[in-house]
Structures are given as C-alpha cells and as structure tokens.
Structure 1
Amino acid sequence: MNLQTKPTKSRHALRFRFRGREVALERFSPRRTVLDWLREDERATGTKEGCAEGDCGACTVVLARLRRGKLTYEAFNACILLLGQLDGAELITVEDLAHGQTLHPVQQAMVDHHASQCGFCTPGIVMSLFAAYHSGAPATAASLCDQLAGNLCRCTGYRPILVAGLATCDGAPTDRFAATAAERAQALAALADDAELFVGDESQFFAAPASLDSLAAVYQRFPDATLVAGATDVGLWVTKLLRDLKRVIWLGRVDGLDAIAEIADGELSLGAGVTLAEAAPLVGTIHPDLSELMRRFGSIQVRVTGTVGGNIANGSPIGDLAPAFIALGGTVVLRKGAAIRRLPLEDFFIAYGKQDRTPGEFVLAIESPRLAAGQHYRAFKVSKRFDEDISAVMMAIRLDLDGRRIAGARIAFGGMAATPKRAANAEKALAGVSLDQPASWRAARAALSSDFAPLTDQRASAGYRMAVAANLVEKALIEISGASAPTRIGALHAAE
C-alpha cells in the first residue's frame, strides 16, 4: 500500500548493505532488533547481548551512511536498534574488521596493550574504537573517554583500552574500509531514494515515510502505530517490557523532520528528527551549561540515534531536554494532517505518561529563544554516575535581572514530579530579590516544598531530591551573583 492517498513512489523491501552485499527483506517483524537478526538469522555471534537496554555496549555495531556526500561511521547499540532502522546503511560488525588472518589495527592494538580479559565486552569496545578510528579527527584521552562512556568493562580496567585507542585512532585511517570508501559510498548512494517504505500489511507493518506529508497521512490513518525515531526508549519496550509492536512508523527517513533553522530574533528551531549528537553544538551556543548537559546525555551510541523530538514526545519526567528548554521559554510545535499548532513546552506535559497530543498528532519541532541582555541561565544534572546515567535531579533556571534585582525567574526541574515541571512558588519567591542579599534567597529554597513532592525510587530518596533541588537553586544564585566562581567536575566552568 502507499502511505499517501495520492500517487507516490513506494518500496516494499528493507534495503541495506552487509558484508559486501545488498540485503533486501520483504518480510520481518516490526519489533525485530538488529542484534536478534545478527545472532539468530546470520549466526553472527561476535556481537554480544549484555544488558539488552543500551547501557553496557557489548552489542555495539557501526553503521556507515552517506551524509552530505561524506561516508560517516557511527556506533549504535544493536540490542535496541530496530532492524528497519538499517534502511540505506551499511552494517559493520566486529567479525568484519579483520582482513583474512590479519587483525584490524584497532584489534591488534587491543592485543598488544593487553586490553582484554574475559572478552565479552571486547567486541563492543572494538567497534566503538573503530568508529573513532574513522572519525576523521585524532583521538585524545578526553575524546576516547566520551567515545567509550557507553562501553562497560568489568575485567581489564580502562587504561589499556585507552592506550590502544590512542595508539591507533590518529585521524588517518588506512584499513581496507578506507581503501574501498569510494566504492562503498557509491553502493550506498544507489540505495538512497525518496520512496515511501512500507513492509507488511495493514495489520502489521514497518513504515518509513519519506516526507512530512506522508508521515502526517500515514499517522492519521494509523494513529495507534508506534512512532520510532532513535528507538532508545521504544527499544526497551521490546527488550524489557516484551511489547509486541504490530505497527511501527520510523521517522528516520522523513525529509524535513531534521530541519534546523533560526527564526524570529535568532530563536533556534530544531526539527524533531535532529539527533542529540547533531543538536549538541547548536544547543551549546545558547549557553555552555547546555553543552555539558548534552555531553552527558547517555552515551555516544545513544546520542547518534536518539532525537530531540523523541526526548520530548515520550514525556519522561527525567528527560533532560524538557526542563532545559522550559526554563528558556521553549515552544513545542505539533502537526496533525495539515494543521500545525504551537504551545508552551511546559503545557505539553499533562500527567505521567500523558501529553497534550491528540491521536495522529506528532511533534514537528522544538523552538527555543536565546538569552537576551540581562538574562542569565544555568543547567545542572545530578546523577549517580557522572557519564551515561539518568538524572536523579535536573534543574534549569533563567533569571531576568534589572541591575542586581531579579525581575523574573523561570525554574524547571526533572525528576521532581510526574512530569517536567516549573517551580512556580520558588519563582515567585525570587521576584524582586536582590542578588546582593543571600538571606533573601531562603524563601525560594523553602518554597520548593510547596512546588514538589518527589518520590523515592532506586535513583534517589524524596529527601535527597528535595535537598539537592534547594542546593541547586542556591548554587545558581551564587554563581550568577558572582559571589563564587562557577565550579564543575573536571574543571569545566559555566559562562555567561
């Protein structure tokens, strides 16, 4: 079937490249993961299953894609990547790296530097290093730490792994993949089309619309379908909740959903399909704290596939982007059919698991103003692990100053309620307060108890969350007032 009522070019087979050949699948379960396909269908068991939720990195594979005419290599968690998301890409696994009996340079360095013991995590680590090897930039200890934040090793320790990466990832790849780059890019270009992908029938399908109009049409027709962008959340519905997803609409091929623009007064507009990795440098131009927030947003494997729209649309009370944009005064743009509406981002979240989104309506973009003169911003993430961890408490605050007096405040929290939420009473308590009178800030700290009644869970107790929230408000006030220099782990610092 076509995704639209008007005639359009359609395709009924998933197409990707694997081990030098084109794979075309006309039938597969919409919920099938890449890891299951590799291990069960292809018997490619070098890729391991560890956590099955995208945290440990044992299942890491690399996808090569053409982006703006350039061949790029990105690491993905195969355990939560749906098979249909391979469309138009080349899938590379740990078993594909060696050339005959000759190990890939990254593999050989792992051997030479004694960087593996039990070996269960090693395939994923090798693939993450392989992506860094082809990144086009020389690796540093810091960049490798970021690259490997999503790969856990319980045996070796990370020092020899980092040494192996530093020894090989010099920004000048010389392996057989580099030697055949032109040929492989040509093969991927041959897969690229603007056809509407639809595999299955009306009762069970995997659809990948190629345009915004097609997405609007198919989602209106099947409003009960599951929208999938990066699958960093939906993948867990499959692996942990064992949901049998019958109808899946993948957003990764929708032309225009990844649009980036500056609109009125320099306001930043990010299409819902913009990945977290793509968004990071853009969001960082609003304030340096947001650069650090994005760096700690999951792992590389999560950031290259997870999207801005997905983090907002799933309505998670611990999604970090929502509080960050709410404090800035952000807007969510929604589309249903041909109708488009905008609403303040804080109004999008109604209750736990419930958003102001009607059947067939999807998130089109997120719009965020930049900071004006006299506006000061901070964003803090507190979690058990520093890297690749879900926030226990996330706070973002914008103060509008009139000289040294606070004319207005916007404070948003994640992890403190059933939805991302503003601290309305704390905001009122700060109105008119002087930055030069720290004693007057205490009312805002106290007001948080009337704004929130947090839960106790595995990440933090209710008491801990309340104490952290109050301390983060005071920390932001101390920094903005200039009473103390900004402090960040790793010598990072905030800037106006």
Structure 2
Amino acid sequence: MIQFILNNKTIKTSEKTGVTLLDFIRENQQLKGTKIGCREGDCGACTVLVGELNNDKINYQSITSCISPLGNAHGKHIVTIEGINLPKKLNSAQEAMSNNYATQCGFCTPGFVVSMTGFALENDKNKTCNNAVSGNICRCTGYKSIEKAGFEIEEKLLQKDENNKIAWLIQEGFIPNYFEEIPSKLQMFLDVTSSAVEKSLKGTKVANGTDLYVRYADDLSEENVQLISAQKDLKNIIFSNGICSIGANATVTNMDESLQLKTLFPKLKQFLKLVSSEQIRNMGTLGGNFVNASPIGDMSIFFLALNSILTIQDKNGLERTIPFQEFHQNYKKYDLQEDEILTSISFPVPTKNTFFNFEKVSKRTHLDIASVNSAGSITIEKNTVTDAHFSVGGVAAIPKYLYKTGAFLVGKEINNKTIKEAEAILQSEIAPISDVRGTSAYKRLLAKQLFFAHFIELFPTKVELQKLIA
C-alpha cells in the first residue's frame, strides 16, 4: 500500500509502485493541471513539488513527475498546481506571471508556477528564480517576460521571515493555509504508515528513475519496482580519516548543498550547473548515473578524475570494493551482478596542493548532453607533479579514464612543452566515433582543448596561452 499526502488529501492506493507519478495524478486523481509534455523530464510541464519531513520541517524540491515512480511518493507531501491555488485570487507566482505577460498558450505555465513556488519554499539564498525554472521550457512566450516575473518574485521574497517561513508565505499569498498543517499531519501519518514499500526486494531496481523511465516507463508501470531510493543511509556524505564517502543515492543537489564539498571544490556550483536541470539535479542519483554507463555521463567523468573507489553490496549484505576506473567494461556494460547494488563512492580528500577542474562542451551551455566532457585532478609539490588523474567523455565506448596521460605527468613540471606532450598521449588513448554530437575529428579537437583548459584554469601563471593553443 502506497500512502502519501497529495495537496491537502491523504492518498492510500494499491497501484503498482512503478506507475509514473504523473499518470497517477492525472488519470487516477483527475488533476489535469499537471501537463504531459515530453515524458522524458526535459520540458518541465509535469513539474510537481515533493516535500519530505526532516526534523519537524518539510523540505520541498521540484521534480518532473513524468519519470518519477509513484512508489517514491510514499510518506511524502506531493504538491501540484491545484495544491497551490488560492480560493479567490491568484497566488504570488501566478500574479507575477500575469503582471509581466509571461504566458500565451498557457500549457507550460503550471510547471513554471510550481517551480517558482518551490523556489519561494526553499532556503537557498544563493539561488535565483531563474535557476529554479531552469528545467521549464516555454515555446511561445519568450523568456524575457518570464525572467521579469522571476525578478518580481525575488523582490517580494527579500522580506521573507525565515524564522516563520510558512506563515509568512501564506500571509503573502504564495501558498494556501493548509501548508501550515502538513508537518504535523505528515508526522502522524508516518507514525502509522507501513514501510512495506521500502522493504520491497522484488522487481526492477529503481532509484529516482531519471534514466530508466525515459526508456522503459511503459514497462515499469506494469511492475512493483524495487525502490532503492528509500534507503536513507545511502544518501549520506561522510568525511573520515582523509576520505570522503558519498552514498550512491545522493543526488547532484545533495552534493551542491554540502558545505564541506563546496569547501573542497570552490567552483562546485559552477560545475554542477552544467549538469541537466534543477528538477533532474533534485532527482538524479550518483549511482544511477554510474550504472546508466553513458560514455558522456557527467558525474562519471567528475568522479573518475578523483581516483575514486566504488563500494558494492550483494543481497546478503556482503561488500566488495573496486576502483571506479575498472567499473565500466564496454558500452553499457559494467561490473555489477544482478543481485548487487552500488552503495557508495569514495575518494581521498584533496589536499591544499591538489587542484581539480571539470569542463563540458555541448550544443547548449546548459540543459544538454555533452559532446565531450573532461575532468582533471593534479597534485603538485615543489613545482613537480606528484599525482595526476584525468578523464574524458564522448571519445570512447565508456567514460574514459586516461591511465597513460596521468602517469606521464607524474614527476614533471607544468609547462607548455609538458602539456603538449601529455596531450599527444591523450590522443593515443581515445577512439571517438562520428555521431549526432560531432565527427571523430571534432571530438578529438574538443578533448585537446578541454585538456588544455584544465591547465589554463588551474595554472594560469605556468602556461603561455598563445603558444599553447597555437
């Protein structure tokens, strides 16, 4: 039995856990404001908010319901556009869209309004309203008017009382009154709710579905899928004895919210903004990205360059570890048995002498799959490289770890001659093919330029830029 709160209504259903949340909302509950668009998580027309109780408060995030399994709603508060409508007037996000003429056909508008309301419910002062709608596409209005609506919302939120956030948002017309009662309702609800969904050990393993549901939504909708995202212990980010260990169920957003990770990687937010959209970053797990085994998986490339170790657990709880470089074996093939799951990825905490960079080239700067992406980690002692790890995606059948390139740099100084010699070795390690994302020659050129970009970014005083790119 799946049980959750949908807007202000308690839901108890025996629907299969693999049914998409979107289809349940629209067909079972007849809430048609959540639209069907791409069914791939790209357009944002199906955006809803998911609220999860944490220390007597609910944290809300936006997700795309078209690729989210219904079972993952268990024990949570799901909010659709109908759930943020006010009885007799527009809510603040709707009013901002109206004031700035930010809608025409209106098909995408509910998704934008839900994302903007999610922004109002968040605590991240470093995020803008435009960040929040990064996964929402409008095909007819033009984004300038939507951007202006976002500015109006941001200006209003400057006065938000963070100590009494929900009460303030209700008072200012962002959300209905019932939101104030949801934490206590959800707590009582969780106290008596069965955990049978979490304990399911049968069916296809699904975390948050951002890859599987793009390809197999129809098939999965017929299953009671095994929902491994319910395993909360697999979301932890732990630092111990010089090692950082991140649970395989951690999302890109979890990484972005980690103060310790942002201290280690000062440009982490900039790197992660290149990964998909707001909604997908809230959903996509590291383990899912690795097992997807895409040759251009952003997080695979990121963690390969950190010389990471994977921990894998079988159904009996027995664990084994392997270097991440050995996990991907061939196109879409990897070292994971049917009864095993990834539990964590760990890497040595970078020292003050270790420098890391991530680069990505795609047809669009954001919200796009890479043509080629690359990461590099270099440790220097007394002007000499003591450790080096590089990865590059889009140039082989797997996310490519560059064994020879990194080994060549150890023991050498960083200068133009060394960098060019290392790049020649890089070219011998890759074998790109021509496809829709570019020709083989183009990808070789991108791999070269991104490799140079690591050094230009990390060691600007050691690189003669004009001579390097000449």
TM-score by length of 1: 0.84
Preserved contact between residue 425 and residue 450 of structure 1 (Cα < 8 Å):
no
Moved more, 89-98 or 78-87: 89-98
Q: Which residue of 2 is the match for residue 418 of structure 1?
A: 397
Q: Does 1:51 align with 2:29?
A: no
Q: Does 1:63 align with 2:74?
A: no
Q: Which residue of 2 is the match for residue 81 of structure 1?
A: 68
Alignment-mate amino acid for residue 264 of structure 1:
N
Distance 1:326 1:245, change over 3 A: farther
Q: How big is each residue's C-alpha offset from its partner over 1:409-466, in whole Å with a ceiling of 9 and x where there is no partner? A: 2111122212112122322443443223x13322222222221111222223222211
Q: Does 1:264 align with 2:241?
A: yes
* Alpha-carbon shift at residue 279 of structure 1 (Å): 1.4
| d(CA) in 1 for partners of 2:319, 2:326 | 16
* Alpha-carbon shift at residue 246 of structure 1 (Å): 3.1
* Alpha-carbon shift at residue 309 of structure 1 (Å): 2.0
Preserved contact between residue 60 and residue 127 of structure 1 (Cα < 8 Å):
yes
Distance 1:340 1:176, change over 3 A: same
* Alpha-carbon shift at residue 149 of structure 1 (Å): 1.0
The match for 1:254 among 207, 218, 231 is 231
Q: Does 1:36 align with 2:23?
A: yes
The match for 1:374 among 353, 358, 365 is 353
* Alpha-carbon shift at residue 485 of structure 1 (Å): 9.6
Moved more, 90-99 or 175-184: 175-184
Q: Which residue of 2 is the match for residue 152 of structure 1?
A: 137
| d(CA) in 2 for partners of 1:137, 1:178 | 22
Q: Which residue of 2 is the match for residue 133 of structure 1?
A: 120
Preserved contact between residue 14 and residue 197 of structure 1 (Cα < 8 Å):
no
| d(CA) in 2 for partners of 1:469, 1:279 | 26
Question: What secondary structure, in the 3-state scheme, does the structure 1 residue paired with 2:184 have?
Answer: helix
Aligned residue runs from structure 1 range 315-394, under 5 A? 315-336=293-314, 337-394=316-373
Q: Does 1:188 align with 2:186?
A: yes
Alignment-mate amino acid for residue 257 of structure 1:
L
Moved more, 446-455 or 119-128: 446-455
Q: Which residue of 1 is the match for residue 165 of structure 2?
A: none
| d(CA) in 2 for partners of 1:178, 1:86 | 21
Question: What secondary structure, in the 3-state scheme, does the structure 1 residue paired with 2:455 have?
Answer: helix
Preserved contact between residue 71 and residue 181 of structure 1 (Cα < 8 Å):
no
Preserved contact between residue 227 and residue 248 of structure 1 (Cα < 8 Å):
yes
Q: Which residue of 2 is the match for residue 304 of structure 1?
A: 282
Question: What secondary structure, in the 3-state scheme, does the structure 1 residue paired with 2:36 have?
Answer: coil
Distance 1:106 1:257, change over 3 A: same
* Alpha-carbon shift at residue 193 of structure 1 (Å): 4.8
| d(CA) in 2 for partners of 1:426, 1:85 | 43
* Alpha-carbon shift at residue 196 of structure 1 (Å): 6.2
Preserved contact between residue 279 and residue 308 of structure 1 (Cα < 8 Å):
no
Question: What secondary structure, in the 3-state scheme, does the structure 1 residue paired with 2:359 have?
Answer: strand
Structure 1: gaps spanning 5 or more residues: 1-12, 199-206, 210-214, 488-496
Moved more, 52-61 or 378-387: 378-387
Q: How big is each residue's C-alpha offset from its partner over 1:375-402, in whole Å with a ceiling of 9 and x where there is no partner? A: 2221112221112222221111112323
Distance 1:442 1:235, change over 3 A: same
Q: Does 1:162 align with 2:143?
A: no
Structure 2: gaps spanning 5 or more residues: 161-168, 466-470
* Alpha-carbon shift at residue 53 of structure 1 (Å): 0.4
Question: What secondary structure, in the 3-state scheme, does the structure 2 residue paired with 1:102 have?
Answer: coil
| d(CA) in 2 for partners of 1:296, 1:470 | 20
* Alpha-carbon shift at residue 290 of structure 1 (Å): 3.1
| d(CA) in 2 for partners of 1:14, 1:150 | 28
Distance 1:262 1:381, change over 3 A: same
Question: What secondary structure, in the 3-state scheme, does the structure 1 residue paired with 2:427 have?
Answer: helix
| d(CA) in 2 for partners of 1:89, 1:108 | 28
Question: What secondary structure, in the 3-state scheme, does the structure 1 residue paired with 2:67 have?
Answer: coil
Q: Does 1:236 align with 2:214?
A: yes
Q: Which residue of 1 is the match for residue 198 of structure 2?
A: 208
Distance 1:466 1:302, change over 3 A: same
* Alpha-carbon shift at residue 231 of structure 1 (Å): 0.9
Between Structure 1 and Structure 2, how many residues are aligned?
449
| d(CA) in 1 for partners of 2:339, 2:395 | 30
Preserved contact between residue 331 and residue 368 of structure 1 (Cα < 8 Å):
yes
Question: What secondary structure, in the 3-state scheme, does the structure 2 residue paired with 1:131 have?
Answer: helix
Q: How big is each residue's C-alpha offset from its partner over 1:474-494, in whole Å with a ceiling of 9 and x where there is no partner? A: 12223333338999xxxxxxx
Preserved contact between residue 445 and residue 470 of structure 1 (Cα < 8 Å):
yes
Distance 1:137 1:445, change over 3 A: closer
Moved more, 174-183 or 147-156: 174-183
| d(CA) in 1 for partners of 2:30, 2:361 | 41
| d(CA) in 2 for partners of 1:104, 1:481 | 50
Q: Does 1:452 align with 2:430?
A: yes
Question: What secondary structure, in the 3-state scheme, does the structure 2 residue paired with 1:343 have?
Answer: strand
Preserved contact between residue 85 and residue 175 of structure 2 (Cα < 8 Å):
no
Q: CA RMSD in A?
A: 2.4
Question: What secondary structure, in the 3-state scheme, does the structure 1 residue paired with 2:284 have?
Answer: coil
Alignment-mate amino acid for residue 98 of structure 1:
N
Distance 1:278 1:408, change over 3 A: closer
Moved more, 44-53 or 407-416: 407-416
